[in-house]
């Protein structure tokens, strides 16, 4: 009888762990590092401490990060006792990556280097998370900056030309997941205001039935300094019904404008996904 009770309890605990909701977040942390690759990334101890406090407050399970120099810098915010760290292999002080809460079953996949269309752009960091009996492909991205809303059908200027070229590999990755029947999440700094009606980039990557968890919301970061998001939380069609209504959130720094670029010029965005990926 005692053995039966133990097995029942273990089964319930396993079921709870396997069927927990997941909190996803994206956070561009603005040149987070110790200056090994670029003086801009040299952070002081007080900044690390404040950012670590915000990371704890964020309390997310899977955090896509951008502008991080290396895993050592990210571990100062997301300690190894609580999170696994995965960083892009691109040799640069502005890397994409993930902090993944311990206990989440995942595997690291190769960097998506196809986003580097010009030889100097950032790779996508890719992981596969096992959840509720399904493998979910998740990619952290940081696209070319400087073409926030200009025409991409007939791009003019270096930034827009490069961002337009990134659409093909971006859409190819999405189409590959959809064709394979693989649920996916893509999140990060897209450097693009996709809320604009008929936006060229969203028209291409949103045509598969993907949705943005931050759609229809307006930024409150630094008192609404930025009128539209350039960071986005995108889920594929198989997960479109799994976003928990009302779960989208933007974490605001209490320092106000005084934290701009001392902490980050981006506020973290997050949403909750229910355990039922078949919705």
- What would the DSSP string read from start to end of 8-33? HHHHHHHHHHHT--EEEEEEEEEEEB
Q: What SS3 class is residue 62?
A: strand
| 15 in any annotated domain | no
Residue 44 lies in a domain: yes
Handedness of CA 187, 207, 152, 119 (dihedral sign): positive
Pick the more confident residue, 246 or 19: 246
- For 236-259, what is the mean pLDDT? 93
Give 165's Cβ-side CA count (13 Å radius): 16
Instruction: Count structural domains, the chain.
Output: 1
What pLDDT does residue 37 have?
Answer: 62
> Does position 13 have pLDDT exceeding 80, yes or no?
no
What residues are paired with 98 via a beta bridge?
64, 86
Q: Is residue 64 part of a domain?
A: yes
Q: How far apart are CA 192 and CA 74, in angstroms?
A: 25
Residue 249 has pLDDT above 90, yes or no: yes
DSSP-assigned letter for residue 210: -
Residue 208 sits in a domain of what CATH number?
3.60.10.10
Which DSSP letter does residue 116 get?
-
Query: Do the domain assignments include residue 82?
Result: yes
User: Is the pLDDT score of 11 beyond 90?
Assistant: no
- Average pLDDT, integer, range 35-50: 82
Residue-wise pLDDT for 218-245, tens only, equals: 999 999 999 999 999 999 999 999 999 9
Q: Average per-residue pLDDT in the chain?
A: 90
The answer to the question of residue 144 being in a domain is: yes
Percentage with pLDDT > 70 across the chain: 90
CA distance 41 to 84: 22
Planar angle of CA 128, 133, 138, nearest 5 degrees: 20
| Spatial strand order in the sheet of 249-250 | 83-87, 95-101, 62-68, 22-32, 269-273, 249-250
Question: Would 1 be classed as within a structural domain?
Answer: no
Q: Which residue has the tokens 């019904």?
A: 241
Tell whether 9 is covered by a domain.
Answer: no
Residue 144: DSSP 8-state = P
| Confidence label for 133 from pLDDT (cuts 50, 70 and 90) | confident
Where do the H-state alpha helices sit in the chain?
2-18, 45-58, 71-75, 158-180, 200-205
Domain carrying residue 263: 22-273
Helix (H, G, I), strand (E, B) or coil at 96: strand
Residue 123 included in any domain: yes
Backbone φ and ψ of 176, nearest 5°: -65, -40
């Amino acid at each position: 009888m005692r053995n039966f009770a133990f097995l029942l309890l273990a089964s319930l605990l396993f079921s709870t762990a396997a069927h927990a909701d997941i909190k996803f977040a994206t956070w561009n942390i603005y040149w987070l590092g110790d200056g090994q690759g670029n003086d801009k990334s040299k952070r002081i101890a007080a900044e690390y401490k404040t950012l670590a406090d915000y990371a704890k407050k964020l309390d997310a399970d899977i955090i896509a990060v951008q502008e991080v120099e290396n895993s050592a810098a990210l571990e100062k915010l997301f300690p190894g006792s609580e999170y696994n760290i995965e960083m892009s292999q691109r040799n640069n002080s502005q890397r994409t990556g993930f902090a993944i809460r311990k206990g989440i079953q995942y595997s690291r996949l190769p960097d998506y280097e196809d986003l580097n269309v010009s030889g100097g752009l950032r790779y996508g960091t890719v992981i596969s998370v096992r959840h509720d009996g399904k493998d979910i492909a998740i990619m952290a991205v940081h696209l070319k900056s400087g073409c926030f809303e200009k025409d991409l059908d007939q791009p003019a200027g270096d930034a827009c030309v490069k961002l337009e070229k990134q659409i093909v590999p971006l859409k190819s990755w999405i189409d590959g997941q959809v064709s394979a029947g693989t649920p996916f999440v893509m999140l990060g700094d897209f450097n693009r205001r996709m809320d604009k009606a008929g936006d060229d980039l969203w028209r291409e990557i949103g045509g598969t039935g993907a949705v943005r968890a931050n759609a229809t919301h307006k930024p409150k970061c630094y008192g609404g300094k930025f009128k539209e998001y350039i960071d986005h939380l995108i889920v594929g069609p198989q997960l479109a019904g799994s976003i928990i209504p009302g779960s989208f959130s933007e974490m605001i720094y209490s320092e106000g404008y005084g934290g701009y670029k001392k902490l980050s010029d981006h506020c973290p965005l997050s949403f909750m996904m229910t355990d039922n990926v078949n919705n």
